[in-house]
Amino acid sequence: MSKPAKPRYRQLKELIIGQISAGELRPRDRVPSENELVDATGVSRMTANRALRELNDEGYVERVAGVGTFVSDFKAVSHVLEVRNIADEIERRGHNHTAIVLVQEKSAAAPGTARALRVDEGTEVFHLVLIHHENALPIQVEHRCVLMEFAPDCLQQDFTAITPSAYLSAISPLQEAEHVVRAVMPDAEIRNSLEMGDHEPCLLVSRRTWAHGRTVSFARLYHPGSRYELSGHYVPPGTEAFSRAGEYNDE
């Protein structure tokens, strides 16, 4: 008994997603046009159109009438849980971003990290610790572990020039991301690094990213509670955007 047989527009979508995942199509590359897909696969143009249109709606590609279809940068894929690059975020606010690298080494994965990355405890991974500054004020401590096979030249990178997040996006097409947000009290090291007062809480974002179905990286991002917030809003498609939230304290 044969399977229900996936519809052809779906097969086309998966073909293209597969090429993006495999790295054959990289961000900003041109995707075959509708007519080229028609010639190559024998479907009708409306079917190719539907495949590309849905890939566009889902953020995989961006289409420009009269020009063509191009692979998106990952950030465009996810307006769900945006994979924030702290440097972009700061620059979008018109501020200046700088970073200090505290640790950049190969070391054995600690138990929690090993579980997060789904590797055996003690597996060697790249370990990074950075402090990110916004206008000279520390805004994030980044503890990151990266699987060695995905970024063999990790120790040679200058992470004051390009953030680990941007570096990983560049070398590997990120496909899945998971965030867990918690409020925690920082230990002395984090508190010092972020120049925080006593009894001031941290917003801790734990982020795992995947590519090709495998975990690539696990990061713990600590932010001073008094200087950082996460925000997001949902606007149904077709509605006009509205202004962002500010601070709303009643005292």
Partner DNA sequence: TGCACTAGCCTGTATATACAACCTGGGGGG
Partner DNA sequence: CCCCCCAGGTTGTATATACAGGCTAGTGCA
Residue 232: burial class (beta carbons within 10 Å; 0-12, 13-18, 19+): exposed
- Write down the least CB distance from residue 10 to DNA, Å: 6
When asked if residue 65 is in the footprint of DNA (CB under 7 A), the reply is yes
Element housing 39 (H / E): helix 34-41
| Contact residue for a second copy among 181, 189, 192, 195 (CB under 8 A) | 181
Q: How far apart are CA 131 and CA 129, in angstroms?
A: 7
When asked if residue 79 is in the footprint of a second copy (CB under 8 A), the reply is yes
When asked if residue 107 is in the footprint of DNA (CB under 7 A), the reply is no
Query: What's 198-222 look like in SS3?
Result: CCCCEEEEEEEEEECCEEEEEEEEE
Name beta bridge partners: 147. Answer: 125
| Contact residue for DNA among 26, 44, 79, 180 (CB under 7 A) | 44
Stretch that binds a second copy, among 76-84, 97-105, 129-137, 159-167 (CB under 8 A): 76-84
Token readout for 33 is 């046009």
Q: How far apart are CA 174 and CA 73, in angstroms?
A: 9
When asked if residue 112 is in the footprint of DNA (CB under 7 A), the reply is no
Nearer to a second copy, 163 or 215 (CB): 215
Q: How far apart are CA 145 and CA 126, in angstroms?
A: 6
| Contact residue for a second copy among 57, 105, 158, 189 (CB under 8 A) | 57
Q: How far apart are CA 78 and CA 177, in angstroms?
A: 9
When asked if residue 115 is in the footprint of DNA (CB under 7 A), the reply is no
Token readout for 93 is 């606010």
Stretch that binds a second copy, among 35-43, 84-92, 127-135, 218-226 (CB under 8 A): 218-226
- Write down the least CB distance from residue 233 to DNA, Å: 25
| Residue 52 interacts with which of a second copy, DNA, none, CB < 5 to 8 Å by class | DNA
| Residue 33 interacts with which of DNA, a second copy, none, CB < 5 to 8 Å by class | DNA
- Write down the least CB distance from residue 71 to DNA, Å: 12
Query: What's 69-99 look like in SS3?
Result: EEECCHHHHCCCCCCCCHHHHHHHCCCCEEE
- Write down the least CB distance from residue 203 to a second copy, Å: 4
When asked if residue 84 is in the footprint of DNA (CB under 7 A), the reply is no
When asked if residue 144 is in the footprint of a second copy (CB under 8 A), the reply is no
When asked if residue 4 is in the footprint of DNA (CB under 7 A), the reply is yes
| Contact residue for a second copy among 3, 111, 120, 188 (CB under 8 A) | 111
CB 202 within 8 A of CB 224: yes
Question: What type of residue is 250?
Answer: D
Q: How far apart are CA 196 and CA 190, in angstroms?
A: 8
Strands 30-31 and 176-184: unpaired
Give the binding site for DNA (CB under 7 A).
4, 7-10, 31, 33-36, 42-47, 49-50, 52-53, 56, 63-69
